[in-house]
Structure 1
Amino acid sequence: MLVLGDAHADDPENRRALLAAYRQADADVALQLGDLLHYDLPIPTWFIAGNNEDFDVVAALRNGLVTNSRVDNAHLLASTAVDLQGIRVAGLSGNFAPTKYDRPRANLVGERRRHFTHEDVQAAMDLTDVDVLLTHEAPHGLPVAEEYDVGCSHVDDLLNALDPELCLVGHHHEHAETTFGDTRVVSIAPAWERYYSLDPDTLALSWSDTPGS
């Protein structure tokens, strides 16, 4: 199973790197950790929305109303789960904004649709039997290099509720690892640097350099 980090594939060079990773990996299905920005994909890909997306496309995917010919094989995980190759994968789309968290999702408009709300977190907490959780925000304790304190208490709460074996995190454009309780947490490098393979039997991750990186 292919795993891809942030793509920012509205940029032509990043898009070439993304598609090169797909070709090189030659996988049947993929997971992607947000900031995708290109939704016409070679194989079925389950992704979470990041803080940089085409939010009209994301809204359409949320509501099952996609008619855009440039959207193919892109499946949104938004407080939902899917069974893939014998594992259950769930995703929380969006990032955290304290001024938006308590608002109804229906009240978020424009670029503010990038955020997750209390409704989204609660819906994710109601999921069961999750093996792998995808988030764009990190839980506390992830050792990535940022100019702010990394860690979102709502992601902490979600990990405590779901207790997945593995949590994959986007957003930080850096590979880093930690544990949160019994969960292994891995920040995924961007798609223009690396692509990863996830063994569905063991949940072990391996990675390779993206061609041309």
Structure 2
Amino acid sequence: MGGTEGGWYFAAVGDVHGQMHAMVRLVEGWSARTGKPLAFVVQVGDFEPHRDEADLATMAAPAKYKHLGDFPAYHRRQTGFPWPVYFIGGNHEPYGFLDAQAPQGLEVTPGCHYLGRVGQVEPRGLRVAGLSGIHREDVFRTARPSLLDPRSVSHKAFAYFNEEDVDRAMGLRNIDVLLLHDWPSGLIAASDAAAFEHQRRSVSHDTVGNDYARMLVEALRPRLVLCGHMHRAYRATIRHPSGQVSDVACLASVRQGLESLAVFHVSSDRLTEVTRTR
């Protein structure tokens, strides 16, 4: 995993929802305040890289949430990201673009990479893997429909990961950082349970997350797990029978400001968060 003497930094960002300019300002603001350059940025889904209205039409979301966002300026190269960006898909993506072009992943604009339904990259020697989408049990064992005519199927059909995706992800090895959109189940400490009761995104603390994400974390034992989706910041750890520990950083949405950002220092065999939110 290496690095130069003294180490280096990378950032993780929560749900962007098309607000790439705000994401850049947030991340560059951290670098300006600290004087620390960033090697790259990872993002945990609901990035929403809509190139045009046709892409936007393939996103699963109520009409009031469908906004073209900032990505056209990046796609047309009127502006660019200051660092490489690696993102997974969430449940609100233009899958008519992403899955039709390259479900195995692609560079959507210079320096900005979609990891695919399941993918792995190794920037600066750090092994980063991701699983796109969220869980829905009644479609988990069903293949996603063809995108030859995206108008003939529900856009929601593309928002979920399935058994094939999880099986592929289970075959990954030696992962340092795992990107998930939804949280693994069983994260919420008893002392925090009340904060997750009767919320819009959590009926109760024990319904937060899904068991397949948890199973993947337990199988791969990454040093770090990064999640979004819930639009709230939370930190937890998952302890494995081997004695290894996976730190978990759940991130809010970019609209919520600094709670959507986590920065990590990489040095020798250590990976340490230098921004901390409970």
Q: What is the TM-score of this pair, normalised by structure 1?
A: 0.84
| Displaced runs of 4 or more, over 4 A | 63-66, 106-109
Matches for 1:1-213 after TM superposition, within 5 Å: 1-9=10-18, 14-24=19-29, 25=31, 27-38=38-49, 39=71, 40=74, 41-42=80-81, 43-59=83-99, 60-63=101-104, 71-77=109-115, 78-106=117-145, 109=153, 110-143=155-188, 145=196, 146-148=202-204, 149-181=207-239, 182-192=245-255, 193-194=257-258, 195-201=261-267, 202-207=270-275
Task: Note the alpha carbon deviations across 1:34-68, whole angstroms, 9 max, x for none.
Answer: 111135350321111011111123212425677x7
Q: Following the alignment from structure 1 to structure 2, what is the Cα–Cα distance between the partners of residues 128 and 15? A: 31
Q: Following the alignment from structure 2 to structure 1, what is the Cα–Cα distance between the partners of residues 156 and 272? A: 35
8 A contact 1:51–1:94 mirrored in 2 = yes
- Give the 3 Å change call, closer, same or farther, for CA 170–178 of structure 1 in structure 2: same
Task: Note the alpha carbon deviations across 1:149-179, whole angstroms, 9 max, x for none.
Answer: 1021111111121011111111111111112
- Give the 3 Å change call, closer, same or farther, for CA 72–22 of structure 1 in structure 2: farther
How far the C-alpha of 1:21 sits from its partner, in A, is: 2.1
Q: Following the alignment from structure 2 to structure 1, what is the Cα–Cα distance between the partners of residues 106 and 250? A: 31
- Between Structure 1 and Structure 2, the one with more helix by share is 2
Kindly report the root-mean-square deviation, in angstroms, between the aligned alpha carbons of the 2 structures. 2.4
- Give the 3 Å change call, closer, same or farther, for CA 83–196 of structure 1 in structure 2: same
Q: Following the alignment from structure 2 to structure 1, what is the Cα–Cα distance between the partners of residues 276 and 236? A: 20
**How high is the sequence identity, in percent, across the aligned residues?**
29
- Between Structure 1 and Structure 2, the one with more strand by share is 1
* 1:200 match: secondary structure: strand
8 A contact 1:142–1:176 mirrored in 2 = no
8 A contact 1:165–1:184 mirrored in 2 = yes
* 1:203 match: secondary structure: strand
**Mind listing any 5+ residue stretches in structure 2 that lack a counterpart?**
1-9, 32-36, 50-70, 75-79, 148-152, 189-194, 197-201, 240-244
Larger radius of gyration: 2
Task: Note the alpha carbon deviations across 1:69-93, whole angstroms, 9 max, x for none.
Answer: xx34321223221112221111010
Q: Following the alignment from structure 1 to structure 2, what is the Cα–Cα distance between the partners of residues 92 and 107? A: 20
8 A contact 2:135–2:210 mirrored in 1 = yes
How far the C-alpha of 1:7 sits from its partner, in A, is: 0.8
Q: Following the alignment from structure 2 to structure 1, what is the Cα–Cα distance between the partners of residues 98 and 275? A: 28
* Partner in structure 1 of residue 55 of structure 2: none
Larger deviation, residues 35-44 vs 57-66: 57-66
Matched pairs, number: 202
Task: Note the alpha carbon deviations across 1:1-40, whole angstroms, 9 max, x for none.
Answer: 121111112xxxx443212124334533110011111353
